[in-house]
Every structure is written in structure tokens, then in C-alpha cells.
Amino acid sequence: MKFRAKVLARWTLLAAIVAASGFLAWWTWRTTASLERLGERSVIDSTVLLVREKLDRVESMIIAADNAVIHLVDPDDLDVLAERWPALADRVAPSARAVLVLDEAERPVRAVSRTTADDADRFRQLFVDHLRAELHLRDQAVGEHRHWHGTTAGQWSLVSYFVGESGGRRYFVVIETDLDFVRREVLPKLFEDPLARGRFNVTDDQNRTLFGRSLATAGELVSARFPTTLYKWRMAAVPRDDPEFKARTRNRQLIEAGYVGLSLVVLLVGVVFFTFVAREEERLNQLKSDFIATVSHELKTPLSLIRMFGEMLATDRVPSAEKRGQYLEIIVRESERLTALIDNVLDFARLERGRTSYEFAMGDLGGVVFRGVEMFRYRVVKERPRLVTDIAEHLPRTRLDERALHLLLFNLLDNAVKYAGDSDEVRVRVYGDARVLSLDVEDQGEGIDPEDARRIFERFYRGRNASASGARGSGIGLALVKHIARAHGGDVAVVPRPGGGTIFRVRIPVDARDDDEA
């Protein structure tokens, strides 16, 4: 029944993809037909809209640059403006040339230029000599952001001014726009379209051409003033003639026809994606089946040993006291292995259901790791490999969940002991600085295949070395390690160890917030 439901769901999804692609094809052809019916639409109206759109783009760029500068002004600390704006100018306010901050009495208190100090002084003097009388700053309300456009000393100027208030006192921000930049950079980019090139220009209030070619002999023109910034300048355009408009319409039809082809591509991509998802689901189901089989085997083996040696002890079939001690040691070891496996499975089940919760508290990572290693020593029966700890002193305290980190450490140590081979030791290192703490678990085994290293933290995945060596494991330990590391704001990675072996490196950012702040 479940299999039939899955098949039905897959075919339903495929049918939805086909229907969506068919709708896209129908919509594109319908749009093409609508364009043909609208071919007689007024060319003048389209040109008017185009002019307004370009005017709005210029205005929006200038106003956005002004706002970026205004946001950097702190009347209580004007050094912030002097330090930050020149560095950010090219990115956030390319059209702004100089900034002047005035106090409540309209006295300049700070002048900053994106170029030189001399340029800042020039703008300060320009304000004192010409602009103060033009702007009427005292008449403006707090929060107003306005523009003044005109000529000073025979040169066109565009000045933005903003009235702010801090601590009950007003202040003024006056910004000079670099009109050379507007004519040199902004306007050329505005008319990069070959269809627009040569058909637009910008003129001043004396009808002198400031940008583009003269359109005096072009016949009928569409023109409009800049609304709020460069309001003494006009933008004019020559309407496109009918052949040009029809050519554009034909091109648009070709584009719309391309949409039909795109719809087919979407269909193919959808089918490929659908197939990929289905295969991934099958692969995941297979991994789950392997996981169940592996866990069943992992549970059966220690239970069988516990039962066998328990029966021998219960029936007093023990040849000597030394053997009795060995049997009890085996029972304890297998019980601990069984407990660790069950803890891993339960934690993983909570993780899968999204019910994993952590109890964070301020703690010392070095101390947590030291206690964890000491607890793990009791699980290691054989003398090799030795567990060696190298914990740096004076590490910063951070928010952590000690129980979860012990689970992380046990899984890394268990993994290292399994694959340490004949090496003498497994080394645990804890080090870091004021920002990041690192936990390394190093073994001197055969290392990890690069292909396995990319997938080793996936749930249920077991590397090739694990399968070849017959090492026991469920395939969920390292997935739990990754989840716990990320729950602490960090991550885990596996890197080759110089000289052979593997290093599992957990990096956790230092979080010194107390519980109330967290």
C-alpha cells in the first residue's frame, strides 16, 4: 500500500510539472498574440514612459546616495563621518562629492570631501559665499530632505540639504552632488541600449545641450524636467518610428517563442529533478534498511556475550577466580558498549523528530573535555592506543551543553580507537583564542579516503575502510557529532594528519553571553 502511494505521488507530481509547462507555453503564445494586437499602441506614450523611467532612475540614484551619507552623520561624533564616508563613498554614495555639517546657528562645524581637504574647504567657502542665502535652512522643518539646483560662480550645482535634531538641538547636513560624475558615468550608462543611443539628450534651462547630441532638427520631441533633484534640466527623446517599433515587436515575438522552448526545458529539468529525488529517496531507504540491520547486529553481539558469560557465572562453570574476573569485565564492557549504542540511537531518534533540546550554560570547554576523556578511559580495555590530552590553559569560558559535548567526544574517541590501528596513542587537543575554541581528536591510523571524507558526516553512512576492516558501528555517531557542533554555533571537519592518520576538528565560537542575554 505504501509503495503504491509513493508511485501515485510521483506520477501526480510529474503530471503537475507537465501541466505547469503546458500552461507556460499557452501563456507565452497568448502574450505574443497580445503584443501583435497592441502593435498600434501610441509610440508617443511609450516614449513618455521611457523618459520618465530614466528620469526616475537618475533621481533615485542621487537620493539614495544622499540618504547613505545622511545615515553616516552622527552630530555627537562627527569623526565617524570623516572616518567612514571616504572609504564607503565609491560603493554607497558615488554621486556625492562633499558634505558639510552645520550647527543650529548654520555655522559650519565639519566639512568632508571624498577627495582632498582642499576640496572640503572649497565647499565650505561656497556655502558661506553663495549657498547659505539660497537654501533658507531656518525655514525647513526637522526631517526634511530637499534639493537646490542652480548656478553658482557660473557653474551648475546640485545641493541636497537635510534638517535633523539631536538632544533638542537642530543640525543641518548639506551635500554637494558631483555633476561631472553624473554626466560622465550615470547618464552614459542610462543610454547604453543601442535603441536609445542618439535619441536622447539632456539640456539646461537655456536649452544648451549638457549630454547627448542636439535634437533641434529631429522634429517632434518628448521632453520632461527632472522632478526634484536636477529640476532645471530637461531630458528629451525622439520617438521611435514605426519600422523600428515593428522590428522591436518582431524581436519580442522571437523572445516569446523562446519562452515556449524554455517551458520544454523546464519540463525536462523537472523530470530529471523528479528522478533524482526518487533515487535519493530510494538510496535513503536503503541506508535506513542497512542501519536497522547494523544496529540489530550491534545489539545482538553484546547481548549474546552478556548472556553467555552471565550463564557461565550463574551455573558456576568458571575454572578459576581469574577467569571469573575476566568474564565480569567482559560483561561490564559489553554493557557499556550496549548503553552507548542505545544512547546514540535515542539521541539520533530525537534529532530525526526535531525534538532535540540542549541545556546551555557557561562552562570551561577544557574541563568538559578532560572529564569526558577520563570517563571514556574506563571504556577502553586494551592498553593501546593510549589516550593523551593536550588542553591549553586559560581558555575563555563559553555557553555549552556538557552532556551533549560528552556525547560528541565519546563518538569521536570511539571512532578514533576503532581506526587507530597499531598506533601508540590517540591525542585529544583543546586550544583556541578569544573568538573560537577548537577540539581536535587525532589518530595515527590509515586515514580516510577522500571520497569518504566528503560524506562521512551523513546519517547512516559508513566509509569504505569501515566496511573493509569489519569495524563495528551504526553510521550515526558522526552525524550526531555534526549536529551537536552546529547546535553550539560551530562545525566539524575531517582533515588528514601530517605523517598519517586523521584529525577530526570541532570549532566552536566563543559565546560569553549570560542566560538572560541568550
Is the pLDDT assigned to residue 94 strictly greater than 50? Answer: yes
Supply angle C-alpha 262, 10, 349, rounded to 5.
Answer: 120
Rounded Cα–Cα distance for residues 211 and 380 (Å): 82
Rounded Cα–Cα distance for residues 464 and 447 (Å): 11
Give the mean model confidence (pLDDT) for residues 252-269: 70
* Lowest mean per-residue pLDDT among 61-65, 300-304, 386-390, 464-468: 464-468
Q: How many residues does the chain have?
A: 518
Give the mean model confidence (pLDDT) for residues 266-272: 73
Is the pLDDT assigned to residue 518 strictly greater than 60? Answer: no
Is the pLDDT assigned to residue 65 strictly greater than 60? Answer: yes
Q: 73-240, which class in CATH?
A: alpha beta
| Start-to-end CA span in the chain (Å) | 48
* Lowest mean per-residue pLDDT among 209-223, 237-251, 462-476: 462-476
pLDDT range class, residue 291, cuts 50, 70, 90: low
pLDDT value at residue 102: 92
- More confidently predicted of 334 and 232: 232
Is the pLDDT assigned to residue 472 strictly greater than 80? Answer: no
Range of 94-103, 192-201, 417-426 with top mean pLDDT: 94-103
Range of 171-175, 209-213, 265-269 with top mean pLDDT: 171-175
Range of 180-184, 374-378, 394-398 with top mean pLDDT: 394-398
- C-beta separation of 444 from 424 below 8 A: yes
Is the pLDDT assigned to residue 29 strictly greater than 70? Answer: no
For domain 358-509, give the CATH number: 3.30.565.10
Is the pLDDT assigned to residue 131 strictly greater than 60? Answer: yes
pLDDT value at residue 431: 95
Rounded Cα–Cα distance for residues 102 and 110 (Å): 7
pLDDT value at residue 42: 63
pLDDT value at residue 498: 80
Give the mean model confidence (pLDDT) for residues 262-283: 73
pLDDT value at residue 293: 57
DSSP bridge pairs for 505: 440, 493
* Lowest mean per-residue pLDDT among 16-20, 114-118, 137-141: 16-20
pLDDT range class, residue 242, cuts 50, 70, 90: very low
Give per-residue pLDDT as tens, 380-414: 655 567 888 999 999 999 999 888 898 889 889 88
Other Cβ atoms closer than 10 A to 295 = 19
Task: Specify the fold of 288-348.
Answer: Helix Hairpins (1.10.287)
- C-beta separation of 61 from 95 below 8 A: yes
Other Cβ atoms closer than 10 A to 509 = 14
The grid coordinates listed for 112 are 568632508
Is the pLDDT assigned to residue 517 strictly greater than 70? Answer: no
pLDDT range class, residue 443, cuts 50, 70, 90: confident
> What is the percent of the chain with per-residue pLDDT over 90, rounded to a whole number?
21
pLDDT value at residue 352: 62
What are the residues whose beta carbons fall under 8 Å from the beta carbon of 167, sequence distance 6 or more?
76
Range of 261-275, 328-342, 407-421, 431-445 with top mean pLDDT: 431-445
Report the mean per-residue pLDDT for the chain: 79
The grid coordinates listed for 229 are 533633484
pLDDT range class, residue 284, cuts 50, 70, 90: low
For the chain, the structural domain boundaries read 73-240, 288-348, 358-509
Rounded Cα–Cα distance for residues 83 and 182 (Å): 25
pLDDT value at residue 122: 92
Buried b (16+ CB within 10 A) or exposed e, 409-428: bbbbbbbbbbbbeebeebbb
Give per-residue pLDDT as tens, 476-509: 778 888 888 998 999 999 988 887 788 999 999 9
Is the pLDDT assigned to residue 40 strictly greater than 50? Answer: no
Is the pLDDT assigned to residue 197 strictly greater than 90? Answer: no
Give the mean model confidence (pLDDT) for residues 428-442: 94
- More confidently predicted of 2 and 379: 379
pLDDT value at residue 262: 74
- More confidently predicted of 55 and 336: 55
Distances (CA, A) of 387 to 133, 375, 441, 471: 81, 11, 10, 19
